[in-house]
Chains A and B, each alone.
Chain A
Amino acid sequence: MNVTRLLMLPVVVLAISCDRNATPDTTFQQSNELSAQAPVPTSGAVGESQPAQAPPAPRTEKKAAPATPVADQARATGVNADAAVLQDFKSRIDAYMTLRKAAVKGAPALKETTDPTKIKAAQDAMATEIRAARANAKHGDIFTSEITAKFRRLLSPELKGDDGRDAKAIIKDDAPTNIPFKVNAKYPEGASVPTVPANLLISLPTLPEPLQYRIIEKHLVLVDEDADVILDYALNVIR
C-alpha cells in the first residue's frame, strides 16, 4: 500500500461511517471479500456505482431506530407499521413481476427439451430482457432499509437456540463463493445453490415463482431463478 492510499484510508472510513449513521440497523461485520464488492447501504437506495472503498469496521448500533417513511405514514394513519412495511415489500415484488411479465414477452419461454443448450439460451434471453427493462435498478430498490430492518426482526428469533444453530450450519454447508453482490448480476453458473433453512424461509414473506431468497454468508439475496438474475440483496440479515 502506498503512502497516499494510507493517508486516504481514514478519510474514506470516516465518510462511510458518517453515511452509515443514517441506518443504525446496518452493522457491518462482513468479510473483506464481500465488502470490496458490496455497496454501502444507506437510508435510501444506493447506486451500484458506490462500492465500499475499504473494509468497514464494525460499529456500535444505535438503539433508537430512525423515522422511516412507510412506517411513519402508517403510524400517522393508524395502520400497523410492520404490516405497512411488509405491504410495501409486496408492492415492490408485484411491481417487479409486472415489469418482468412485459419484459420477457418476446423472449423464448423456458420449456422442457432434451437439449440443455436451448434451455440455457432461453434463460440468457430472458435475463437480457429483464436487465434491459430494469437497467436503472439499484441496490435498495426492493430491499429498502425499512424492509431489511423488518426482515432482520423476523429472522432474529429463528436464529437463536438449537434451530438457530442448525440454520447457521446449513448456511455454511456447501456455501457458494464468489457470488456478486450486484443488482442485475448473474448468479454464477456452477455455483452451489445454498439451502435456505426452512425455519428462516417460513418466517419471510412467500415469494411468487420464479423468485427465491438465497442466503449467502450473512446476507439475503433475491434471485429471479428462471433467469438467474440477482434482483437485490439485503446485507447482514443473519446475526
Chain B
Amino acid sequence: MRRLLFIAVLIAGLTPQLASQELRLPNKDGSVKFGVLGDTGTGGSDQVAVAKELATWRTRFKFDFVVMMGDNLYGGEKARDFQKKFEIPYKALLDGGVKFYAALGNHDDAAIQRNYKPFNMNGERYYSFKPQNGVRFFALDSNYVDEKQLGWLDKELAASGSEWKIMFFHHPLYSSGETHGSADLQRGLLEPVFMKYGVNLVLAGHEHFYERIKPQKGIAYFTLGSSAKLRRGDLQKSALTAYGNDTDYTFILMEIVGDELYFQTINQKGTTIDAGSVRRVGKVEPTTTRTAQPVVPQAKPSPAQPGPRQEKK
C-alpha cells in the first residue's frame, strides 16, 4: 500500500514537469519549422544553456533554420569572438545543418556580420528569404531606417505573393519594457508599410525578456531578447501584453501549417513557458486599423496547444 502511495505521489509530482517538457507543436511533415533567438552574443553560460536546450529540442522538432533578432555579438568582433559567441554555443545545430539568419542589433558591426557567411545575410543590412512557397521572411536593420531601406521594403513586399510575410529585426515596435519600451519612431515608418502589404508576424529583440503582444492592427508581435541576457523586473506588463516573462532565458520554436502559426516558448531548463497559435484569416481590404492579412489568436487552444502556463496565484 505504501509503495502504491509512493508511486502515486511520484507520478503526481512528475506530471506537470513532464507536461511542461512536451512538444506542443503539430510537428507535421512539410511544415515550416524554425527557431527564434534574440540578443544572443555574450558567449556566457546562459547563452550556452539556451543553445544546448535548443539543440536538445531539435531532436524532437526538426527545425531547419533559426532567425536571430540582433545583438548577435556583444563587444569585440574578432574571429575568436565569433567562435565564443556563436560557433561554439551553436555547434551542435550548425553541425546538424541548421541555417542561421541574422538581423542587426545596435551592438553589431554591420560590415563584418553581413559578410559573415553563417549569418546568411548575403552581404546586406536587410534582405529577405523564402524557406518555402507561401512564406517569406524579411530581415530589417531597425538601427538605420532610411528612405533607401523603406523603398526596398515597399518594393519587396509589393512583389511578394507569399501569404505569410514575417518581419524580424532588433527594435520592438510594441513593448512593455521599462528600459526601452515601444520603438515608436520606427513604428511610425514601418507599420503603415506592414499594414499595406499584409504583414502577419513581427519578431523583435532588444528587450532582455520575452513578451507576446496582443495582435496589433491584425499583426502578431513577439519580443525575444532573452536568449543570453536578462533584465529581471524590466517587463511592466501592460494592456499590450498577452504573456510575458522576464525571469527566464528563452527561445521560441515556431511552425507554420497552412493558415496557422504555432509557437512554443521554452526556457533554459527546457520548460515551456508559453504556447499557442495564431490563425491567418485571409486577405481583406487594409484600413488604418487593420493589416491586409490579419491574424487572430486561436480562440480555444487545442489539447496539443494548451496555451500559456497558468500563473501561480
Contact = CB atoms under 8 A, between A and B. Distances in A.
Among B79, B106, B110, B111, chain A packs the most CB atoms within 10 A around the CB of: B111
A116 B84 CA distance: 13
A225 interface: yes
A196 B116 contact: no
A192 B81 CA distance: 15
B185 A189 contact: no
Interface residues on B, range: 20 to 34
A206 interface: yes
20 contacts: A110-B111, A111-B115, A112-B123, A113-B117, A116-B82, A120-B78, A162-B184, A166-B184, A170-B185, A192-B107, A193-B109, A195-B106, A196-B143, A198-B185, A201-B144, A202-B147, A206-B146, A212-B144, A225-B110, A228-B111
A120 B115 CA distance: 10
Contacts of A114: 116-118
A153 B231 CA distance: 38
Interface in B117-175: 117-118, 122-123, 142-148, 171
In this complex, the interface size class of chain A, counting residues with CB under 8 Å from chain B, is 35 or more
Contacts of A189: 76-78, 109
A173 B180 CA distance: 8
A199 B122 CA distance: 28
A202 B189 contact: yes
B46 interface: no
Given A114-B117, A119-B116, A226-B111, 20 more contacts: A112-B116, A112-B117, A112-B122, A116-B77, A116-B81, A116-B116, A117-B78, A120-B78, A120-B112, A167-B185, A170-B185, A174-B107, A189-B77, A196-B143, A196-B144, A198-B185, A198-B189, A199-B185, A210-B111, A225-B110
B104 to A, nearest CB: 8
Contacts of A33: none
Interface string B214-252: 000000000000000000000000000000000000000
B111 A198 contact: no
B78 A193 contact: no
A64 B188 CA distance: 35
A193 B118 contact: no
A115 B106 CA distance: 22
A206 B148 CA distance: 7
A137 B148 CA distance: 28
A176 to B, nearest CB: 9
Contacts of B123: 110-112
B96 interface: no
Tell me which of B109, B112, B189 has the highest count of chain A C-beta atoms within 10 A of its own C-beta: B109
Given A189-B76, A192-B107, A197-B185, A113 B115 contact: yes
B186 interface: yes
B258 interface: no
Nearest to B118: A114
B44 interface: no
A163 B185 CA distance: 7
Contact of A192 (B106, B146, B189): B106
* Among A110, A111, A192, A194, residue most surrounded by chain B Cβ atoms (within 10 Å): A192
Nearest to A208: B148
Interface in A102-118: 110-117
B75 interface: yes
Contacts of B116: 112-114, 116, 119
Given A112-B115, A212-B144, A190 B185 contact: no
Contacts of B81: 116
Contacts of A111: 115, 123
B106 A193 contact: yes
B112 A116 contact: yes
B255 interface: no
B127 to A, nearest CB: 12
A209 B152 CA distance: 13
A110 B81 CA distance: 19
B211 interface: no
A111 B117 CA distance: 9
A227 B82 CA distance: 19
B274 interface: no
A166 B189 CA distance: 14
Contacts of B147: 202, 206
Contacts of A212: 144
A170 to B, nearest CB: 7
